[in-house]
Amino acid sequence: MKNNGFVRVADLHKDFLMGETRVQALSGVSLEIEQGSFTVVMGPSGSGKSTLLYLIGGLDWPTSGSIHVDGEEIEKMDENSLAGYRSSKVGFVFQSFNLVSSMPAEENVSFPLRFAGIAPAERKTRSQNLLEQVGLSDRATHKPTELSGGQQQRVAIARALINNPLLILADEPTGNLDSNSGLAIMQLLSDLHKSGKTIIVVTHDSRIKQFSTNTIFLLDGKTVSEQTYRQATELMSQP
């Protein structure tokens, strides 16, 4: 059970109500992701990639369907258990980094530990270790504005790792970066994958293929086969 279906999503629906109109972001997504895999989620803009990732990360509630992660049924959790789930099981990496601009790198990395009741001394050692792991030990006291985009994303990845989660969710982590920095971030995610983390990445960057173990294709809120996906995207890209 542990090794199979680490993330199981069944008939997942997510509707957004925009005044009168109902936007179907996800309309019946089912998938299974094994523990220790490196999964890429691909799809055109608006296909529901981010929505799916956020639902798996427990940052939003589905309209219907179920989400199991590591044996827990997260859509049935109350607010408090969900906070515990976000704290202990998942690490989030965002396209726009979402660092606290007034805090130095070290404190940004250890920020989640404040809510986990970890003492300051341990927070410091843990964040120093992680900054070393992402190659930024000499930038510990720098604020986000004093770091490059690639460095900021490394800080964000270190933050995602601070609670030692099994699952890393990254929504277009290279979207705001130049291609070299982007590749370095992908490399870093791959290293994490090799160290045993389960990774789900939403990206448009095809270079991710060399690192990933499997790919999920989304079209209009539904998972489709690679073939269907290729046909549809070729149609779209034709003039």
Partner 1 sequence: MRFFDLVSLIFYNLSRRKGRVLLTAVGVVIGTAAVVVLVSLAVGLRENATRQLWGINDLTSIEVYPGYSMEKMASSSSVMVGGGGGPDSIKYLTPTAIKEIAAIPGVKRVITQDYLNANLDLVYGKLHAYGGVIGVDVTDLADMGLTAAEGTTELARGTAVIGSWITRNFYDPKARPDDPPLEPPQLMGQSVKFVLIKWTQDGVEIKKTMTVKIAGVLAETRGSADGNIYMRLDEVTAWNEWSRGARINRNKEGYAMLIVKAEDPDVVIEVADKINELGFMANTPQSYLQGINSFFLVLQIIFGGVGAIALLVAAIGIANTMAMAILERTREIGLMKAVGATNKDVLSIFLGEAAGIGFIGGLGGVIFGWGGSAVLNLVALSYFASQASANGGLPPTMAASTPFWLPIFALAFATVVGLLSGLYPALRAATLVPVTALKYE
Ligand X SMILES: Nc1ncnc2c1ncn2[C@@H]1O[C@H](COP(=O)(O)OP(=O)(O)OP(=O)(O)O)[C@@H](O)[C@H]1O
Tokens representing 127?
């964040």
Q: Which is nearer to ligand X, 25 or 192 (CB)?
A: 25
Beta strands in 56-124 (DSSP E): 64-69, 72-73, 90-93
Residue 45 touches ligand X, criterion: CB under 6 A: yes
Residue 13 touches partner 1, criterion: CB under 8 A: no
Residue 51 touches ligand X, criterion: CB under 6 A: yes
Smallest gap from residue 127 Cβ to partner 1 (A): 13
Smallest gap from residue 190 Cβ to partner 1 (A): 23
Site for partner 1 in 53-112 (CB under 8 A): 54, 57, 59-61, 79-80, 83-84, 86-88, 92, 94, 98, 100, 102, 111-112
The distance from CA 57 to its chain's CA centroid, rounded to whole angstroms, is: 8
Cα–Cα dist 64/1, whole Å:
24
Nearest to 49 by CA among 41, 60, 39: 41
Residue 23 touches ligand X, criterion: CB under 6 A: yes
DSSP string computed for 112-159: HHHHTT--HHHHHHHHHHHHHHTT-GGGTT--GGGS-HHHHHHHHHHH
Tokens representing 98?
């979402």
Q: Out of 114, 204, 209, 230, which residue is the one contacting partner 1 (CB under 8 A)?
A: 114
**Percent composition of the chain: helix, strand, coil (DSSP 3-state, to 5):** 40, 25, 35
Among ligand X, partner 1, Mg ion, none, residue 173 binds (CB under 5-8 Å by kind) = none
Smallest gap from residue 103 Cβ to partner 1 (A): 8
Q: Out of 25, 93, 134, 208, which residue is the one contacting ligand X (CB under 6 A)?
A: 25
Q: Out of 39, 47, 50, 152, which residue is the one contacting Mg ion (CB under 5 A)?
A: 50
Residue 150 touches partner 1, criterion: CB under 8 A: no
The phi-psi region of residue 71 (left if phi > 0; otherwise alpha if psi is between -120 and 50; otherwise beta) is left
The number of beta carbons lying within 10 Å of the beta carbon of residue 156 is 27
Cα–Cα dist 37/180, whole Å:
24
Residues near partner 1, by CB under 8 A: 54, 57, 59-61, 79-80, 83-84, 86-88, 92, 94, 98, 100, 102, 111-112, 114-117, 120, 159, 163
- Where does this chain bind ligand X (CB under 6 A)? 16, 18, 23, 25, 43, 45-51
